[in-house]
Amino acid sequence: MKCFQGRLGYGQDHEDRLIIPRKRPFLTTHPLEARDVHSASLVANIFDRLVSADEDGLIHPALSHSWEHDEKKLRLYLRKDVKFHDGSILSAEDVCCCLEKMRSHPYYELMWSPVAEITAKGPLVVDLLFRYPCSYALHLLSVLGASIYKETGGLLSGTGSFYIEVNNEVKTVLHTFKEHYKERSLLDVIEYVQVPKNFENVYRSSAQSNINETFKVDSDYGFGVAILNGYRDSDIARAEVREYVHYQMAKHRGEVPDIDPNAIPNDCGVFPRISKPYVMEEKPCPPLKRPLILQVTTYTESAGVWAKDILEKAGCAIELVPVRFEDTLNNGMEEQECDFFFHGEVFEINQSFSFFQFLFGGSSPLNTVLKKLIDKDAFLKRYAMTPVTEWMELHLSIERLLIESSLMIPLYFSRKSFLFTEDIMNVKTKYFGHADFSKLWMKPSM
């Protein structure tokens, strides 16, 4: 036991160390590649962005202290003497380099369509020149993919509250960056330690080798849907087949908490308290030429077994096809040889802009569906020309189109609970529903 506690980092080393059980290694530490929430929540603490957005979609200064935004351009004024983790100083050229990489990345390139040029107008001034007005330019710069970094010899250096000290199969260690441009974090070290799958999922301080008192923090975590590939050359292309699958899943979605206790059945859409409830009328079972292919990963296997059971009892043959989770992250539906699959979407911070990314991200599971359902370029321009505060009408029109076409089936809203030992203070959730490590501190025992 003492050996295992030592591995977890317990002991009196005079550092405020947060110990986090890690059930699997991180897939990536690169801001442009962090598609899974596990990697994204880590990356959010290592890199900063030019601006930040809160839950209400309000924009706040970050690496950029001020800006000017009109119909022709966005001008950003950078803070002075911001240090990267390697000690070098942030410049406008560094920012332009990162934004150009983001603009050309397959996931983000469509969202960058309104931007014609990115230029450094001075050592600390950056301009984004528009082809047409872009209401969401600042919001785009607040997302994880817009993180600012310097790449040297294949290694990334950020400006965030923590930097990576160790990252291997056994553990990942983050150390506080004492020269952060805002303030030094009150934690010294964050240590993710690889543990067995059945290990207690409690965030603890290095002073707490035994769990005495804990408290729970609940976080809204996103939504889960089934995506149907209505444009595949199979039975799923027939509206009556999709409608029957939709009807059966809607009929049984109250059973979803039996699969995942954190899931709340959702008969509306993707926006809690905004999307309207709907009812699927009873549908007859259509004949199938061959079983429908349902793709599952380790995360959706239990949901796949549930769906196969209810659909086959209703006369609809299903074949489960397992794939690696990481193979699904950067593949749009065109690369996924299946009729339907389950997808969980986790909000970054602001629900409205997260849904926008869900619609227009290059490897989003909706990419192929939307490409053939609407004129995506025209719709993107409508978003760009509409103030972000007025986007909900656009969101709901696309949401309703997807649901009524039985291309997207809402299943659940998700809440996640995190347990912390009682000596960890000021726990507030931020990116992807996870704790903001830069704000945590540990109460000393007296």
Q: Express each pLDDT in 205-241 by its tens digit.
A: 876 555 568 888 877 778 999 999 998 999 999 999 9
Rounded CA separation 270/222 (Å): 8
Over residues 81-99, the mean pLDDT reads: 98
The whole-number pLDDT of residue 208 equals 59
Most confidently modeled range among 29-38, 51-60, 89-98, 342-351: 89-98
| pLDDT surpassing 70 at residue 12 | no
Q: 10 Å Cβ neighbour count for 155?
A: 12
Over residues 8-19, the mean pLDDT reads: 70
Binned at pLDDT 50, 70 and 90, residue 92 comes out as very high
The whole-number pLDDT of residue 1 equals 38
Domains and CATH numbers, the chain: 2-45+160-213+422-442 (3.40.190.10), 51-148 (3.90.76.10), 219-415 (3.10.105.10)
What SS3 string covers 25-49?
CCCCCCCCCCCCHHHHHHHCCCCEC
Minimum mean pLDDT among 110-114, 307-311, 329-333, 382-386: which range? 329-333
pLDDT in tens, 322-343: 998 888 876 555 556 899 999 9
| pLDDT surpassing 80 at residue 403 | yes
Over residues 277-298, the mean pLDDT reads: 95
Binned at pLDDT 50, 70 and 90, residue 366 comes out as confident
Of all residues in the chain, the percent with pLDDT exceeding 90 is: 70
Average pLDDT over the chain, rounded to an integer? 91
| pLDDT surpassing 60 at residue 365 | yes
The whole-number pLDDT of residue 431 equals 75
- C-alpha 246: how far from its chain's center? 26
The whole-number pLDDT of residue 13 equals 57
Residue 215 phi, psi (nearest 5): -130, 155
The whole-number pLDDT of residue 2 equals 44
Over residues 6-24, the mean pLDDT reads: 73
The candidate with the shortest Cα–Cα distance to 186, out of 442, 446, 11, 444, is 442
Query: Which tokens belong to 214?
Result: 């804990």
The whole-number pLDDT of residue 3 equals 43
Of all residues in the chain, the percent with pLDDT exceeding 70 is: 94
For residue 34, what are the CA distances in angstroms to 43, 147, 225? 8, 11, 21
Minimum mean pLDDT among 21-30, 248-257, 379-388, 433-442: which range? 433-442
pTM, rounded to two decimals: 0.91
In sequence order, the 6+-apart residues with CB closer than 8 A to the CB of 286 are 235, 238, 240, 241, 244
